[in-house]
Amino acid sequence: MTRGWKGWISLCVLPFVVACSQNEGFDDLDRFMKEAREQPRGHVEPLPEFKAYEAFSYSAADRRSPFEPPVEVQLTMVDEQAPKSDVKPNLDRPKEVLENFQISQLTMVGTLQRPNGDGELFALIRDNTGGVHRVTEGNYMGQNYGRVVGVNETRIELVEIVPNGQGGWVKRPRSLSLNEG
């Protein structure tokens, strides 16, 4: 009986195998593929352009907050109360060599005086280029019209004339100490 079943199954399956092995039935598929190849190719849209990020700069940071009440400010100094000064630099005199340097670029490196101790005491000043200069009372140094008013073995005393911020000038004391390094 098993032989009968095998024969019967082979007989039923045989038409399906024969039908699938033939080239019939694919005409419609071949026709669809031919039409698809003949159609124009698809078009890909370009990417949209995005606007560049523009940074926002908050420019009202120094103004009063709109959520707080205004503060009344009373002026304590009035320009008329400020004393007027007659101080001003002498712009007509010729500049000395050390006036081309800022005081911070100058260093006191020593002093000179005659061996017997009498005569003027000179201070030795090194500039930032390596040059050494001698100064005494009355010489000028620094870019703020600094005039040497005193020299001793360890320090030089100056009086500078600087702007006061209100269109005038004011005297400012300054000193330069001996660099023992």
Is residue 129 included in any domain, yes or no?
A: yes
CATH number (domain holding residue 102): 2.30.30.830
The answer as to whether 20 is a domain residue is no
Instruction: Work out the average pLDDT over 59-69.
Output: 77
Q: Which two tokens stand for residue 144?
A: 């703020």
Max Cα-Cα span within the chain: 149
Question: Structurally, how many domains does the chain consist of?
Answer: 1
Confidence of residue 163 (pLDDT cuts 50, 70, 90): confident
In a domain, 117, yes or no: yes
Is residue 171 one of the residues assigned to a domain? yes
Domain assignment present for residue 70? The answer is: no
Measured CA to CA, the distance from residue 171 to residue 72 in angstroms comes to 35
| Alpha-carbon distances of 170 from 75, 86, 145, 158, rounded to whole Å | 23, 9, 11, 14
Is residue 88 in some structural domain?
no
Q: Which domain holds residue 103?
A: 97-177
Residue 59 maps to a domain: no
pLDDT band at 137 (very low <50, low <70, confident <90, very high): very high
3-state secondary structure of 4: helix
Q: Is the pLDDT higher at 15 or at 113?
A: 113
Q: Transcribe 27-95 into DSSP letters.
A: HHHHHHHHHHHHSPPP-PPPPPPPPPP-------TTSPPTTS-------S--TTTSPP-------SSPP
Does the reported pTM lie above 0.85?
A: no
pLDDT digits 0-9 by tens, 67-117 = 877 767 666 655 555 556 788 888 899 999 999 999 889 999 999 887 776
Q: Given this model, what pLDDT does residue 54 score?
A: 85
Judged against a pLDDT cut of 90, whether residue 23 lies above it is answered with no
